[in-house]
Amino acid sequence: MQLNKTLSELAHYLHAELKGDGACIISGIAPLHSAKNGDIAFLDNPRYRKYLSTTEASAVIVSSAFSEKCVSNALIVEDPYYAYAKVAELFDRAPKPKSGIHPTALIAPDAQIASSASIGPYAVIESGVVIGSGAVIGAHCAIGENVHIGENTRLWSHVTVYYDVTIGNRVNIHSGVVIGADGFGIANHKGKWLKVPQLGSVLIADDVDIGANTTIDRGAITNTIIGEGVKLDNQIQIGHNVEIGAHTAIAGCVGIAGSTKIGKYCLIGGGSCIAGHLEIADKVVITGMSGISSSLTESGMYSSGVNVQLTSLWRRNVARFHQLDDMAKRILILEKLVKNTEINE
């Protein structure tokens, strides 16, 4: 986490308006409340604006609305979080493996590996695989037959990709991800289950991110499809033949059952579950821990999560929940009785 740039250089890099000392040296990056001399910080979430007047940061990335309140130098931008992300790229220490194939990697003779790609130790790459230029395949990855992996795509260690899967360019896949395992297709016959072979595959478009231990199943007949620029957090489960529209972002622990189609530019909160065979429109926002059991045909924000109460109170309320239909009917009766009473009077 070491840098050595002047604030002027950073202002130029961000196309930001500079307020204060452009010759000031920025060597670190830190949260607003704990930043020290030499650090750059940023303000995006207004709940932290109180720290603008006390921060020890050498400079703060801030919107014009808050720049007046900032005691330090400032870089004034339209979108401070985006600008922060651009500066954070300068501080990124994530190791970048060198090009070349580690001697312990097992590569099928007919696999096509770009010379600028990096294949890590103990990776296993099966027949017919194509790996694009600048791609990184981490240690212990298992890449099945006929998988295509695009340019500058990175698989961290311990990623499993089953046969026939296609992955685009600049895709980032974290450890423990499994792509292309069988969808959950089972046919009941006289009480026993017959596994239904999963004949489709998975298509992952460009610029997708996939978090650790997320699973994306292969399609039953046609493909499971993850659209361009989709961002998936950790431990998400995506069933067979799901389609996710471009630029949708999904937080951790979400489950999406088979054949559901999710639109573009959606935001899906953590812990939510979406039933199968539904259609979710573009620009739908779903708050955390919601259940979705019917299609959502209009954009908008939807919820069904319930916040906790003290258990002693909750128990009484939840008991009433199980009587809710009865309560509703009793209200109706009361309304009739009271109405009659009024009429009588």
Q: Is residue 108 helix, strand or coil?
A: coil
Q: Which of 23, 54, 191, 343 binds its own copies (CB under 8 A)?
A: 191
Site for its own copies in 223-252 (CB under 8 A): 229, 231, 233-235, 237, 239, 247, 249, 251-252
Alpha carbon distance 234, 245 (integer Å): 19
Q: Which of 2, 93, 109, 115 binds its own copies (CB under 8 A)?
A: 93
Half-sphere exposure of 146 (CA within 13 A, CB side): 7
The span of 23-31, 56-64, 69-77, 129-137 binding its own copies (CB under 8 A) equals: 23-31
| CB neighbour list of residue 11: distance below 8 Å, 6 or more residues apart | 17, 18, 22, 75
Does residue 240 carry a catalytic annotation?
yes
- Cβ distance to its own copies smaller for residue 65 or 194: 194
The answer to whether 66 touches 27, Cβ cutoff 8 Å, is no
Q: Is residue 324 helix, strand or coil?
A: helix
Q: Which of 17, 106, 110, 112 binds its own copies (CB under 8 A)?
A: 106
- Cβ distance to its own copies smaller for residue 68 or 79: 79
Q: Which of 20, 21, 30, 279 binds its own copies (CB under 8 A)?
A: 30
Strands 202-204 and 166-167, bridge-based pairing = parallel
- Cβ distance to its own copies smaller for residue 23 or 328: 328
- Catalytically annotated residue among 140, 240, 247, 322: 240
Rg (CA), the chain: 27
Cα 24 → chain centroid: 36
Task: Show the binding pattern over residues 53-82: x = contacts its own copies (CB under 8 A), - = does not.
Answer: --------------------------x-xx
Question: Residue 7 CB, nearest distance to its own copies (Å)?
Answer: 18
Alpha carbon distance 161, 178 (integer Å): 6
Active-site amino acid positions:
240
